[in-house]
Chain A
Amino acid sequence: MKIFLFCVLVLLAILIGAYLYRVLRGPTVFDRVLGLNGISTKAIILLIVIGVYFERVDMFVDISTGYALLNLVGALAVAKYLEEKGHS
């Protein structure tokens, strides 16, 4: 079980790397925003998997919930900014 969880962890980290490539290279700001949103969804799952791996899920669920909530606020702020300033 530990081995399986570890493989899931590494796979998720590699997937995050794929999104990170889009965030770093992305020609437009929209690519970066979408990449960041993808990273955060992977990240929430990654936090829970770390929690299961350490057998302390109860604490890690708190972190990922807080992160998910605040990430929504951040995404809304980015959307509002892009609406106001246009795509530059």
Chain B
Amino acid sequence: MTFSVQILLLLLLLTTAAGAIMVKDLMSSVLLLGSYSFFLALVWAWIGAVDVAFVEAVVGAGLATVLFLLTLFGTAPKDTRLRRPPPSLTTLIIFPLLGVLLLYAAKDLPAFGDPNSPASVHISPTYLEQSYQDTNTPNVVTAVLMDYRSLDTMIETVVIFASGIACALLLRRQV
């Protein structure tokens, strides 16, 4: 039962992804990308990665659309009409081969939710068991991000803030 909903969501995901690269102008492409990352957020929510779904919904579906639109403000109508040359023979051969290679590599990954996979026996149990006593934060991801790695997160925020200010200074006249 859970499987079929996942298949349905992944089909919607594929449809929007194909639509985003096949429509004729950039504006429609941006809108389709917004719905694409929304479906991706639904897939994340469905397999239980709630925090990733939150970031995908907020950044992918919300902020990325606004940023793409800000870019489109600086274009002329003739730039936003897309002319696509047909793909070359090399592309048609190399990319399916790359896909097969990735699928072959994915065969070795541990199964979804496997309790004996290396990722869930190494250090995750320590965090899962002790983070509430250590930090009094009910959400483990927030505890790791904001308590155990708080300095790291703070400096990351400083970097993003500095780059945002630099972009605002550089693009001041256009936007």
Residues of B with Cβ closer than 8 Å to A?
1, 4-5, 8-9, 12, 15-16, 19, 23, 25, 27-28, 31-32, 34-35, 38, 41-42, 45-46, 48, 50, 53-54, 57-58, 61-63, 65-66, 69-70, 72-73, 77, 80, 139
Contacts and interface: CB of A to CB of B under 8 A. Distances in A.
A74 B73 contact: no
A17 B69 CA distance: 25
B54 A70 contact: no
B47 to A, nearest CB: 11
Given A16-B12, A29-B27, 4 more contacts: A10-B4, A39-B38, A50-B46, A70-B62
Contacts, number: 110
Contacts of A74: 34, 61-62, 65-66
Interface secondary structure of B, over-half rule: helix
Interface of A: 6, 9-10, 13, 16-17, 20, 23-24, 26, 29, 32-33, 36, 39-40, 43, 46-47, 50, 54, 56, 59-60, 62-63, 66-67, 69-71, 73-74, 77-78, 80-81, 84-85, 88
A63 B53 CA distance: 7
B54 A62 contact: yes
A71 B54 contact: no
Nearest to B38: A43
B31 A33 contact: yes
